[in-house]
Amino acid sequence: MKDFVRNVADGVRERNRALFEDEFFNGFEGAANICLSVLSESIAEIKSKPGGKSSTQEQLLLLKLYEIKDEIEARLRDFPANQRNT
């Protein structure tokens, strides 16, 4: 009987841990998508400047924003593989 109760308790603990982990990663993914959206919107705003011409400073800013966005996307692609089930 003790083994049965222990097995049930272990199963409940494992299920709760899995649910918590799933919720954590879903929240993390949501936050990451928000950050990428903000970057994308900023890039689009600069690119859609009336007249179609950007100053040198705006072009440098766009370049940096693209670099940041690419770096975030690369790190996010690797994140679950490096963090899940550890």
**pLDDT mean over 24-32:** 88
Q: What is the pLDDT of residues 31-86, one digit of tens each?
A: 999 999 999 999 999 888 887 788 899 999 999 999 999 999 998 888 766 565 54
Q: Is the pTM of this model over 0.85?
A: no
Report CA-CA distances (Å) from 79 to 33, 40, 59, 86.
13, 20, 30, 12
Helix (H/G/I), strand (E/B), else coil: 34 = helix
